[in-house]
Chain A
Amino acid sequence: MQKKVLAIIASVFLSAIFLVQCNSNDDNGSADPVIGTWKLVEVTQNSQQVAVSSCDLMEMYIFGGDQFSHEIYSSASGRYANVAQDDDDDEDSDDEESDDEESDDEGSDDEGSDDEGSDDGEDDGTDDGGTGGGVCVLTETQIGNWVNTGAAYTLEQNGSTQNLPIHFTDNNTRFYYEVTVGGTTTRYIFQRQ
Chain B
Amino acid sequence: MQLNYFYYLLILFTVGANSQQDSTVVFKKRVLETTEVELLGSYYKQEGVHSAVGGGLGTEELTDATSDIVISVPLNDDDVLTFNAGFSAYTSASSGNINPFFTDGTNMNPTGASRRMYSANRDDDDDYEGSEDGSLPYGSPWIQSTGASNKDVLVSGRLGYSHSSDDRNSVYRAHVSASTEYDYGSFGFGVGYTRLFNEKNSELSFDASAYLDKWKPIYPTELHEYATYGSNFLDSGYFNGVTVYDQNGEANRDYFPINFTEFDAKNRNSYSFSIGFSQILTKKIQASVFVDILYQQGLLSTPYHRIYFADRANYYIGKVRYIPVYDSSQNLGVYRLADDVERLPDTRFKLPVGLRMNWYATDFLILRGYYRFYFDDWGILSHTASVELPLRLSQSFTFSPMYRFYTQSKSDYFAAADRHFSFEQYYTSDYDLSSFDSHQLGCGLTYTDIFQKFKIAHLGLKNIDLRYQHYERNDGLSADIMTLALKFIH
Cβ contact within 8 Å between A16 and B403: yes
Cβ contact within 8 Å between A20 and B439: yes
The complex places the Cα of A1 from the Cα of B389 at a distance, in Å, of 16
Cβ contact within 8 Å between B132 and A137: yes
The complex places the Cα of A23 from the Cα of B361 at a distance, in Å, of 31
Query: Which of the 9-residue segments A57-65, A88-96, A105-113 touches chain B?
Result: A57-65
Cβ contact within 8 Å between A143 and B126: no
The complex places the Cα of A125 from the Cα of B369 at a distance, in Å, of 74
The complex places the Cα of A12 from the Cα of B361 at a distance, in Å, of 16
Cβ contact within 8 Å between A25 and B323: no
Distance (whole angstroms) from the CB of B387 to the closest CB of chain A: 6
Q: Beyond A5-B361, A12-B387, A141-B249, is A24–B321 a contact (Cβ under 8 Å)?
A: no
In the complex, residue of chain A having the shortest beta-carbon distance to the beta carbon of B391: A9
In the complex, residue of chain A having the shortest beta-carbon distance to the beta carbon of B250: A143
A41 CB within 8 Å of chain B: no
Distance (whole angstroms) from the CB of A5 to the closest CB of chain B: 6
Cβ contact within 8 Å between B325 and A37: yes
Report which of A1, A23, A63 forms a contact with B439, defined as CB distance below 8 A: A23
A181 CB within 8 Å of chain B: no
Q: How does the 8 Å CB contact mask read for B381-403 relative to A, with 1 for contact and 0 for none?
A: 00000010101000000000101
A67 CB within 8 Å of chain B: yes
Q: Beyond A12-B387, A137-B126, is A63–B365 a contact (Cβ under 8 Å)?
A: no
In the complex, residue of chain B having the shortest beta-carbon distance to the beta carbon of A193: B330
Distance (whole angstroms) from the CB of A25 to the closest CB of chain B: 5
Cβ contact within 8 Å between B126 and A63: no
Which A77-107 residues sit within 8 Å CB-CB of chain B?
none
The complex places the Cα of A60 from the Cα of B325 at a distance, in Å, of 13
Q: Which residues of B contact A69 (CB under 8 A)?
A: 249, 320-324
* Interface residues on chain B, size class: 20 to 34
B328 CB within 8 Å of chain A: yes
Report which of B126, B389, B437, B476 forms a contact with A76, defined as CB distance below 8 A: B126
Which B415-455 residues sit within 8 Å CB-CB of chain A?
437, 439, 441
B327 CB within 8 Å of chain A: yes
Q: Which residues of A contact B127 (CB under 8 A)?
A: 135
Q: Which residues of A contact B325 (CB under 8 A)?
A: 36-37, 62-64
Name A's interface SS: mixed
Cβ contact within 8 Å between A141 and B126: no
Distance (whole angstroms) from the CB of A193 to the closest CB of chain B: 8
* Interface residues on chain A, size class: 20 to 34
B362 CB within 8 Å of chain A: yes
Q: Which residues of B contact A138 (CB under 8 A)?
A: 132-133
Cβ contact within 8 Å between B320 and A143: yes
Report which of A5, A24, A60 forms a contact with B474, defined as CB distance below 8 A: A24
Cβ contact within 8 Å between A63 and B324: yes
Name B's interface SS: mixed
Distance (whole angstroms) from the CB of A29 to the closest CB of chain B: 16
Distance (whole angstroms) from the CB of A98 to the closest CB of chain B: 21
Cβ contact within 8 Å between B324 and A62: yes
The complex places the Cα of A36 from the Cα of B324 at a distance, in Å, of 10
The complex places the Cα of A37 from the Cα of B325 at a distance, in Å, of 9
Cβ contact within 8 Å between A37 and B330: yes
B405 CB within 8 Å of chain A: yes
Which A1-55 residues sit within 8 Å CB-CB of chain B?
1-2, 5, 9, 12-13, 16-17, 19-20, 23-25, 36-37
Cβ contact within 8 Å between B472 and A12: no
Cβ contact within 8 Å between A143 and B323: yes
The complex places the Cα of A12 from the Cα of B369 at a distance, in Å, of 12
Report which of B365, B437, B441, B472 forms a contact with A5, defined as CB distance below 8 A: B365
The complex places the Cα of A9 from the Cα of B198 at a distance, in Å, of 33
The complex places the Cα of A101 from the Cα of B100 at a distance, in Å, of 45
B14 CB within 8 Å of chain A: no
Q: Which residues of A contact B437 (CB under 8 A)?
A: 23
The complex places the Cα of A36 from the Cα of B127 at a distance, in Å, of 27
B480 CB within 8 Å of chain A: no
The complex places the Cα of A5 from the Cα of B127 at a distance, in Å, of 71
Q: Beyond A62-B322, A62-B330, is A24–B249 a contact (Cβ under 8 Å)?
A: no
Q: Which residues of A contact B387 (CB under 8 A)?
A: 12
B335 CB within 8 Å of chain A: no
Report which of B321, B328, B330, B439 forms a contact with A19, defined as CB distance below 8 A: B439
The complex places the Cα of A144 from the Cα of B247 at a distance, in Å, of 9
A190 CB within 8 Å of chain B: no
In the complex, residue of chain A having the shortest beta-carbon distance to the beta carbon of B477: A25
Report which of B126, B248, B472 forms a contact with A20, defined as CB distance below 8 A: B472
B326 CB within 8 Å of chain A: yes
Q: Which residues of B contact A12 (CB under 8 A)?
A: 387, 389, 403
The complex places the Cα of A1 from the Cα of B322 at a distance, in Å, of 63
16 A-B contacts (beta carbon < 8 Å): A5-B362, A16-B403, A16-B405, A20-B439, A23-B439, A23-B474, A24-B474, A25-B475, A37-B330, A63-B324, A63-B325, A64-B324, A64-B327, A137-B132, A138-B133, A158-B248
B-to-A contact residues, CB < 8 Å:
126-127, 132-133, 247-249, 320-328, 330, 361-362, 365, 387, 389, 391, 401, 403, 405, 437, 439, 441, 472-476
